[in-house]
């Protein structure tokens, strides 16, 4: 099976300047996700999509292919789907047609060695069309609704034991998305058709979006390395 990994990593970032190349856990942020993809036994091809020469250099030095993204697909309003479509269409011109796309975000640098392959296997076993990774959220859940909060999975007037609450939620953690190319083509979205969720360790579900996330991720990385 032809399984393609795409890692979008543009040069611009509002929250953190040069985010994809900041040093974290003794390496550029992008490096960790590239290595996770390289450690997969199921992925056949890895492509970094970028508009930035320094990012392209890091990716090439890491041993993966780079497809340079045009400026019109690299601004603040460009979506990840724009980058994904650009890579797929570029490779199609080279007669490379993947059967599955694994979309990894560099802002989620901590994964178990088996997460990517296990996620791929789950999608195949469930005969699903797309998959997202997330963390399971237990407990008493509330939803903000304008100027009030509303309980989502229990009645506060007859409060159950926490372990007896049957309904739980899965929050996307942005780490792994997998989909059939036809899903992106049909919906212009990474998720569609039959969707399944791959549950990850909550410690691995943090993302780097703001400068304050960097020292937190360093600490989480140290904890995970010691496990």
Domains along the chain with CATH numbers: 3-134+172-226 (3.90.550.10)
Distance CA 116, CA 60 (A): 21
Q: Which token pair is 218?
A: 């360093």
Distance CA 66, CA 21 (A): 15
Tell me the three-class secondary structure of the chain, residue by residue: CCEEEEEECCCCCCCCCCHHHCEECCEEHHHHHHHHHHCCCCCCEEEEEECCHHHHHHHHHCCCEEEECCHHHCCCCCCHHHHHHHHHHHHHCCCCCCCEEEEECCCCCCCCCCHHHHHHHHHHHCCCCEEEEEEEECCCCEEEECCEEEECCCCHHHCCCHHHCCCCEEEEEEEEEEECHHHHHHHCCCCCCCEEEEECCHHHHCCCCCCCHHHHHHHHHHHHHHC
Distance CA 170, CA 67 (A): 33
Would you state the pLDDT for residue 103? 98
Q: Which token pair is 46?
A: 């890895």
Residue-level length of the chain: 227
- Decide: pTM greater than 0.85: yes
Distances in Å between the Cα of 20 and the Cα atoms of 12, 45, 46, 74 are 9, 21, 17, 14
- In the predicted model, residues of the chain with pLDDT beneath 50 are none
Would you state the pLDDT for residue 162? 65
Would you state the pLDDT for residue 154? 78
Distance CA 4, CA 22 (A): 25
Would you state the pLDDT for residue 227? 67
Give the residue numbers annotated as catalytic, written as ranges.
159
Would you state the pLDDT for residue 225? 76
Would you state the pLDDT for residue 9? 94
Of residues 42, 45, 202, the one with CA closest to residue 122: 42
């Amino acid at each position: 099976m032809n399984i393609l990994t795409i890692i979008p990593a543009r040069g611009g970032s509002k929250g953190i300047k040069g985010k994809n190349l900041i040093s974290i856990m003794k390496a550029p942020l992008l490096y960790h996700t590239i290595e996770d993809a390289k450690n997969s036994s199921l992925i056949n091809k890895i492509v970094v999509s970028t508009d930035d020469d320094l990012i392209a250099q890091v990716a090439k030095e890491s041993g993966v292919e780079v497809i340079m993204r045009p400026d019109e697909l690299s601004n603040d309003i460009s979506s990840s789907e724009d980058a994904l479509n650009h890579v797929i269409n570029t490779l199609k011109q080279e007669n490379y047609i993947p059967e599955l796309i694994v979309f990894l975000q560099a802002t989620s640098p901590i994964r178990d060695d088996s997460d990517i392959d296990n996620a791929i296997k789950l999608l195949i076993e469930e005969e699903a069309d797309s998959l997202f990774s997330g963390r399971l959220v237990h407990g008493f859940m509330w939803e903000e609704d304008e100027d009030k909060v509303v309980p989502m999975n229990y009645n506060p007037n007859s409060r159950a034991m926490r372990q007896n609450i049957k309904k739980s939620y899965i929050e996307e953690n942005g780490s792994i998305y997998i989909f059939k190319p036809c899903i992106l083509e049909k919906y212009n979205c990474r998720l569609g058709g039959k969707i399944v969720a791959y549950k990850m360790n909550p410690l691995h579900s943090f993302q780097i979006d703001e400068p304050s996330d960097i020292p937190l991720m360093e600490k989480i990385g140290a904890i995970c390395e010691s496990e």
